[in-house]
Amino acid sequence: MATEANPYRLLGTRIPYVEGPLKVSGRAEYTDDLTRPNLLVGRLLRSPWPHARIRSIDVSAARTMPGVAAVLTGEKYPTTFGVLPITHDETALAVGKTRYIGDILAAVAASDELTAERALEAIRVDAEVLPEYSDPHVGLGAVEEPIHSRGLNGSNIQKEVIQHFGDVDAAFAEAAHTVRVRGNFAGVTHAFTEPLVTMAEATPDGRLTVWSATQVPHYLHRALSEVLGIPLHRIRVLKPEVGGGFGGKSDPLPHEIVCAALAFETGRPVKMLLDREDVFLTNHGRHPTQNDLRVAADAEGHLLAYDLSAVIDGGAWSSFGTVTTYYNGVLAMGPYRVPNFRYHGRRVYTTKPPSGAMRAHGGTNVRYTIETALDELAEKLQMNPFELRNLNALPPNSTTITQFRITSTSFLACLKAARERSGFDAKFRKLPYGRGIGLGCGFYISGSNSPIHFTPKMPQCTVHLKADMDGGIAVHCMQADIGQGSNTLLAAIVAEVLGVQLDRVHVVPVDSDVSPVDIGSYSSRVTFMMGNAARQASERLLALLLAAAHELTGYPAKQLRVREERYEVAHRPDVGVSYLEALHKAMEHSGALQASGAYTSPPMGGTHKGARAGTAPAYSFAAYVAEASVDPETGFFAVEKVWAAFDCGRPLNRLAVEGQIEGSIHMGLGQFMGESMNYRGSRLLNPSLLEYKIPTPQQMPEVEVLLVGADDPEGPFGAKEAGEGPLVAILPAVGNALYDAVGVRFYDLPVTPDKVWRGIERLRADGKRWKGT
Amino acid sequence: MHLDPFELHEPTTVEEALELAGSLSGKFDYLAGGTDLLPNYKMHINLRPHLISLERVSELRGVSADRIGAMTRLAELEEHREFGAAYPGVAEAVREVATPLVRASGTVGGNLLLETRCFFFNQTYPWRQSLGFCLKADGDRCHVVPQKERCYATFSGDLAPALAAVEAEVEVAGPSGRRRMPVEHLYNAAGDGILRLSLVPGEIVVAVHFPAHARRARAAYSKLRVRPSFDFPELGVAAAVWGAEESPEKVRLAIGGLETYPRRFDADTDPLAGAALTDAKVRTVAEAVTRRVRPVHNTFLPPDYRRRMTEVFVRRTLTRARSPSGSRAA
């Protein structure tokens, strides 16, 4: 607990990012900072049609233009790929059909940007325009021209999930109270700072080297091998610094493969830096979703059942969609005990930019739906919203009806902290009209138990350490620092265990030639899985050092304790050796020391279809209170303050955890108050950071972070995730605060001022009053 | 995205610039701060092979009690304490433009002559090509109001309504000499997003002039937009009141961000002279103005909402301007 003395030297403190000085001085190297001799510029021709059959693509004029090194179209690399092995439906460039405005039709490598764009203009595409399907509801039934041949029964349904646990109908029959809500959520996108960028080089030794802004170097590695037909060991993937990902750099993306293919075609290095519009069109952001939820409760407020159905707009490709479809259901299973649960989820292809994984993937929209429905339920029960949550909280060491094992949970502590610090009870329904307070809670996986892997028996993460005579410790691991601080955590864990100063530890940039596999930065898995692997590797290296210290001191290793840069006898602190003395002694036997550690999540989950979806070795919990003020005449509102109580187990780097919570609140507020992918039909109207309304710093509330988690039994040093779970609770907290302020429920996100104004007008027109109006 | 190559000309006097303009007739744009023109160029919107930079024309510089040179940076004006004290409504509008970074480059003249904006116009070349080019660039139809005659792009400058409300004037230099006109006459009141200005080809805005009575006005500016920074106005309301609240000599209202040009509403505000500017009167004027405006759906917020907000914003802005303290605080 936060109140106990910290038993660690580094972990649990505020540790500035190890690469921070390089980043703030502009010296950190991102992919676009890199160059190679004779570098070519790669550019993409994108489809102007939402859905069309390609009759021919004439590249002859483009190919002969001076300065053009290669022009590529889809038929040369028709192998399908996709992040999930079970839904390979993408090709690097369109083959036969184009499925959204922005689908890649052709690619050019040329001496410079201008020449490349001139070449694109010279490409002639002859296509037969096909019916456009922008509305996922239309695609639920048979359609004239399914977007993919894999659509269910001639429809555009990509994935259908039907699950029933317990007996939902019986639960509703005996329920004292029921609530029914429909939540509609516009698509949102990651809008990371660094645009998508890849550089590739094929060399005469038969090898391909690829530098890319990716969250998952390993999946990129696999996709390159599959599509280009090159064995994995002849491909080298490097991940330079990455300027944010939020899920948008976790799929292997078409431009990465196209860039590598162009390098092969030309024998020269090629760089492809995407424009912001390209990034919007690549998307893979949060799915536009419609959730229909019914909640049943008994007279005391015990939850009896959820009955949930969802229509999820997938866009043109599968991406993570099968996972999304499951998550949008099963992530409803916390933080409360729900004894009966039925879910019907359908993800439908549309002729729009593909949706995919985005921070708190699959858990955000359903969480808003549930938490606002519970606010309605609490009102029906005439119960304080906190009491409703207290009554239904999942206890530690319990199992959900979907067979998720809940080990640690400090959800009750989160509720207590948020309630007390915010003064909730004194404000709820008591603030003047136009001012309100609301509660929203959160639940998220701390690392997916299911690696997207051909051989799931392999560890999800491996860490290699090497200590040499200079006293430095090199750390190799394919974990992807994308700005979230995983390099810093990795270094801190190694330094903590070995007792050395942080600057002795060097996290070597990801390079598939030397970095052992970690499956990347997604599903909030890195702290938990990499942390455990790093701890194991460090403890093994420490054993070598302590053996040497034993040789030098004569005391058995188990009597030695780790101090800063020193190993000393526990009962005789004057007897000891320095880290360097121990290291150099140990090296007499074997030269540089090496150690390896790995993490594999334990067996878990049920046996029903889809049982693995949502299983994780731990879960995070959250209780947020938001206070907001509304201008009822204009509908503009401001979130004044947020009390964010979060259970990430033991926070290992408080600075990073606070940053994640504040950043998550900003991102969640964006989805709530203004961000949306706006379409006219299948056409994205706002592919720019001017018209895609990310909140400005002026719109950011004061945030009080309350870290109240108890140690997780399996997490490294007791830690759980803090990268995604902190996002989900803010949206319903603000939604419920707006209801408290003006008496209007908002189920259509984003809640732009015009919607607030309209809601207030409607309430007035209906003659309804709220808090003294 | 790249900028296509262009030839840059850097005259040092207005006359030299006009001469260049004459010789490059139809093949040039004037370049001031570049914050509006160059992003449009990157999107390949109405490219010209020549740019005449006004950066070195010293006559276009300088801020004094009754004149702002057209090339004055918005940031410079923002930091000018005496200007802010003399013309608080204009100073409010300046502070509301875009972001500090844009204001560091953007100019007074550039904001007055801001290209009109539309969802279907401010897009990249491939985007516009994919939909079919519009009237305003490369095409022959409108995607906002389906027809082929008139462009509905929105005038999105903040300064024009604020300047028009205090009856400021612009000085313009052209091939046939210099002229002065009220700021609102700079715009084409026929309401077309393409033929948006009254300038003749080659004319340069030299400066904004303030008549003596402008600094006696109590004035305010309010801007509707989704975010408190970055965004262009979805509605911008400027109000100015001369004389005592109990008996104003004159009231002026100007609105931008809503239609193809900034408008003044003298017919609605002239009757307000001479009698107390009560809440009821303010409300009546606000409702009357709201009935006249016709926003269309080519910005982020829906047009019906923007129209209804006109009533709220006019009422609030006028209420601020009438009060002896409120609007002069700046």
CATH code of residue A517? 3.30.365.10
Two structure tokens written together for A231? 């064995």
Chain B hits for A117, Cβ within 8 Å = 2
Query: For position A1, what pLDDT does the model report?
Result: 44
- Please check the confidence at residue A671 and state whether its pLDDT lies above 50: yes
Instruction: Label each residue of A211-269 as H, E or C.
Output: EECCCCHHHHHHHHHHHHCCCHHHEEEEECECCCCCCCCCCCCHHHHHHHHHHHHHCCC
Measured CA to CA, the distance from residue B6 to residue B22 in angstroms comes to 18
Query: For position B328, what pLDDT does the model report?
Result: 47
* Same domain? A639 vs A679: yes
| Beta-carbon count within 10 A of A12 CB | 23
Two structure tokens written together for B322? 């009438």
Measured CA to CA, the distance from residue A250 to residue A356 in angstroms comes to 9
Query: Which residue is closest to B119 within chain A, CA to CA?
Result: A685
Across the beta sheet with A52-58, the strand order is A97-98, A52-58, A124-129
- Please check the confidence at residue B325 and state whether its pLDDT lies above 70: no
CA distance A243 to chain B (A): 20
Helices marked H in A485-570: 486-498, 531-553
Domains assigned to chain B: 1-52 (3.30.43.10), 59-212 (3.30.465.10), 218-323 (3.30.390.50)
- Please check the confidence at residue B326 and state whether its pLDDT lies above 60: no
Two structure tokens written together for A563? 């101090």
- Please check the confidence at residue A3 and state whether its pLDDT lies above 60: no
Of B5, B130, B301, the CB nearest to A48: B130
Contacts of B42 (CB under 8 A, 6+ apart): B1, B2, B3
Q: What is the pLDDT of chain A when averaged over all its residues?
A: 97
CA distance B104 to chain A (A): 18
Contacts of B48 (CB under 8 A, 6+ apart): B6, B27, B28, B29
Two structure tokens written together for A260? 């590598």
* Same domain? A222 vs A335: no
CA distance B121 to chain A (A): 11
Task: List, for residues A218-249, the tens digit of each pLDDT value.
Answer: 999 999 999 999 999 999 999 999 999 999 99
Chain A hits for B1, Cβ within 8 Å = 275, 277
Query: For position A728, what pLDDT does the model report?
Result: 98
Cα dihedral B137, B141, B146, B152, rounded to 10, equals 30
Query: Which residue is closest to B307 within chain A, CA to CA?
Result: A754
Measured CA to CA, the distance from residue A19 to residue A213 in angstroms comes to 17
Measured CA to CA, the distance from residue A31 to residue A243 in angstroms comes to 10
Two structure tokens written together for B235? 């509605």
CA distance A130 to chain B (A): 15
Measured CA to CA, the distance from residue A145 to residue A158 in angstroms comes to 14
Boundary residue ending a domain (A553, A569, A599): A599
Chain A hits for B312, Cβ within 8 Å = 633-634
Measured CA to CA, the distance from residue B65 to residue B84 in angstroms comes to 10
Across the beta sheet with B50-53, the strand order is B7-9, B50-53, B28-31
Reported confidence tier of residue B245, pLDDT bands at 50, 70, 90: confident
Task: List, for residues A71-121, the tens digit of each pLDDT value.
Answer: 999 999 999 999 999 999 999 999 999 999 999 999 999 999 999 999 999
Query: Which residue is closest to B223 within chain A, CA to CA?
Result: A634
Contacts of A470 (CB under 8 A, 6+ apart): none
Of A113, A685, A754, the CB nearest to B301: A754
Peptide bond into A750 cis (omega under 30): yes
CA distance A635 to chain B (A): 10
Are B292 and B214 spatial neighbours (Cβ–Cβ below 8 Å)? no
Half-sphere exposure for A214 (CA within 13 Å, toward CB): 32
Averaged over A22-29, what is the pLDDT?
Answer: 97
Q: Inform me whether the C-beta atom of residue B115 falls under 8 Å from chain A C-beta atoms.
A: no
Name which of A46, A98, A103, A634 to mutate to probe chain B: the one with the most chain B Cβ atoms within 10 A of its Cβ.
A634
Query: For position A153, what pLDDT does the model report?
Result: 85
Name which of B117, B227, B283 to mutate to probe chain A: the one with the most chain A Cβ atoms within 10 A of its Cβ.
B227
Asked if A674 lies within 8 A of B227 by C-beta distance, the reply is: yes
How large is the ipTM? 0.96
Contacts of A7 (CB under 8 A, 6+ apart): none
* Same domain? A643 vs A753: yes
Of A101, A275, A754, the CB nearest to B130: A101
Boundary residue ending a domain (A262, A282, A302): A282
- The DSSP 8-state label assigned to residue B273 in this structure reads T
* Same domain? A659 vs A580: no
Asked if A752 lies within 8 A of B226 by C-beta distance, the reply is: yes
Query: For position B177, what pLDDT does the model report?
Result: 96
Query: For position B329, what pLDDT does the model report?
Result: 39
A348 located within any domain: yes
* Same domain? A111 vs A201: yes
Interface contacts A/B by beta carbons within 8 Å: 60
Q: Which amino acid is at A451?
A: P
Q: Which of residues 134-153 of B touch A (CB under 8 A)?
A: none
Contacts of A407 (CB under 8 A, 6+ apart): A396, A397, A617, A618, A712, A713, A714
CA distance B122 to chain A (A): 10
- Please check the confidence at residue B80 and state whether its pLDDT lies above 70: yes
A333 located within any domain: yes
Q: Which of residues 5-24 of B touch A (CB under 8 A)?
A: 5
CA distance B231 to chain A (A): 7
Residue A489's φ and ψ, nearest 5 degrees, are -65, -40
Averaged over A453-460, what is the pLDDT?
Answer: 76
Asked if A48 lies within 8 A of B302 by C-beta distance, the reply is: no
* Same domain? A691 vs A734: yes
Measured CA to CA, the distance from residue A260 to residue A17 in angstroms comes to 32
Task: List, for residues A41-65, the tens digit of each pLDDT value.
Answer: 999 999 999 999 999 999 999 999 9
Name which of B122, B305, B307, B313 to mutate to probe chain A: the one with the most chain A Cβ atoms within 10 A of its Cβ.
B305
Name which of A105, A118, A124, A277 to mutate to probe chain B: the one with the most chain B Cβ atoms within 10 A of its Cβ.
A277
- The DSSP 8-state label assigned to residue B240 in this structure reads E
A443 located within any domain: yes
- Please check the confidence at residue B257 and state whether its pLDDT lies above 50: yes
Are B214 and B198 spatial neighbours (Cβ–Cβ below 8 Å)? no
Strand partners, B235: B224
**Number of domains comprising chain A:** 3
CA distance B299 to chain A (A): 9
A334 located within any domain: yes
Query: For position A381, what pLDDT does the model report?
Result: 98
Are A472 and A550 spatial neighbours (Cβ–Cβ below 8 Å)? no
Half-sphere exposure for A528 (CA within 13 Å, toward CB): 32
β-strands B50-53, B7-9 pairing: parallel
Of A49, A117, A690, the CB nearest to B230: A690
Contacts of A430 (CB under 8 A, 6+ apart): none
Q: Inform me whether the C-beta atom of residue B2 falls under 8 Å from chain A C-beta atoms.
A: yes
* Same domain? A472 vs A490: yes
Q: Inform me whether the C-beta atom of residue B293 falls under 8 Å from chain A C-beta atoms.
A: no
Boundary residue ending a domain (A551, A574, A599): A599
Are A389 and A374 spatial neighbours (Cβ–Cβ below 8 Å)? yes
Task: List, for residues A565-624, the tens digit of each pLDDT value.
Answer: 999 999 999 999 999 999 999 999 999 999 999 999 999 999 999 999 999 999 999 999
- Provide the phi-psi class of A627: left if phi over 0, else alpha when psi is between -120 and 50, else beta: beta
A771 located within any domain: no
B303-322 and B279-292 helices, crossing angle to 10°: 150
Asked if A687 lies within 8 A of B127 by C-beta distance, the reply is: yes
Query: For position B215, what pLDDT does the model report?
Result: 94
- Please check the confidence at residue A265 and state whether its pLDDT lies above 80: yes
Residue B224's φ and ψ, nearest 5 degrees, are -95, 125
Two structure tokens written together for A58? 């004439």
- Please check the confidence at residue B36 and state whether its pLDDT lies above 70: yes
Half-sphere exposure for B69 (CA within 13 Å, toward CB): 16
Asked if B227 lies within 8 A of A117 by C-beta distance, the reply is: no
- The DSSP 8-state label assigned to residue A527 in this structure reads I
Asked if A683 lies within 8 A of B129 by C-beta distance, the reply is: no
Of B124, B226, B227, the CB nearest to A277: B124
How many residues appear in chain A? 773
Closest by CA position to A607, among listed A403, A449, A343, A338: A403
Name which of B119, B130, B225 to mutate to probe chain A: the one with the most chain A Cβ atoms within 10 A of its Cβ.
B130
How many residues appear in chain B? 330
CATH number at residue A91: 3.90.1170.50
Asked if B308 lies within 8 A of A757 by C-beta distance, the reply is: yes
pLDDT above 90 coverage of chain A, percent: 97
Q: What is the pLDDT of chain B when averaged over all its residues?
A: 95
Averaged over B259-270, what is the pLDDT?
Answer: 97
* Same domain? A440 vs A475: no
CA distance A678 to chain B (A): 9
Are B220 and B95 spatial neighbours (Cβ–Cβ below 8 Å)? no
Residues spanned by the domain of A675: 289-449+607-765
Task: List, for residues A110-158, the tens digit of each pLDDT value.
Answer: 999 999 999 999 999 999 999 999 999 999 999 999 999 877 789 999 9
Half-sphere exposure for B113 (CA within 13 Å, toward CB): 25
A185 located within any domain: no
* Same domain? A629 vs A729: yes
Query: Which residue is closest to A684 within chain B, CA to CA?
Result: B127
- Please check the confidence at residue B330 and state whether its pLDDT lies above 50: no
Q: Inform me whether the C-beta atom of residue B124 falls under 8 Å from chain A C-beta atoms.
A: yes
Asked if B309 lies within 8 A of A634 by C-beta distance, the reply is: yes
Chain A hits for B5, Cβ within 8 Å = 114
A357 located within any domain: yes
Name which of A51, A113, A693, A694 to mutate to probe chain B: the one with the most chain B Cβ atoms within 10 A of its Cβ.
A693
* Same domain? A532 vs A558: yes
Query: For position A150, what pLDDT does the model report?
Result: 77
Measured CA to CA, the distance from residue B159 to residue B193 in angstroms comes to 18
A57 located within any domain: yes
- Please check the confidence at residue A457 and state whether its pLDDT lies above 90: no
Two structure tokens written together for A172? 């509703």
* Same domain? A329 vs A353: yes
CA distance A324 to chain B (A): 29
| Beta-carbon count within 10 A of A655 CB | 15
Cα dihedral A606, A612, A618, A620, rounded to 10, equals -120
* Same domain? A385 vs A532: no
Residues of A with CB under 8 A from a CB of B: 46, 48-49, 101, 113-114, 117, 275, 277, 633-635, 674, 683, 685-687, 690-691, 693, 695-696, 698-699, 752-754, 757-758
Measured CA to CA, the distance from residue B225 to residue B301 in angstroms comes to 8
Measured CA to CA, the distance from residue A358 to residue B175 in angstroms comes to 57
Are A47 and A94 spatial neighbours (Cβ–Cβ below 8 Å)? yes
The separation between CA A23 and the C-alpha centre of its own chain, rounded to angstroms, equals 22
Q: Specify the pTM.
A: 0.97
Reported confidence tier of residue A694, pLDDT bands at 50, 70, 90: very high
Averaged over A370-398, what is the pLDDT?
Answer: 98
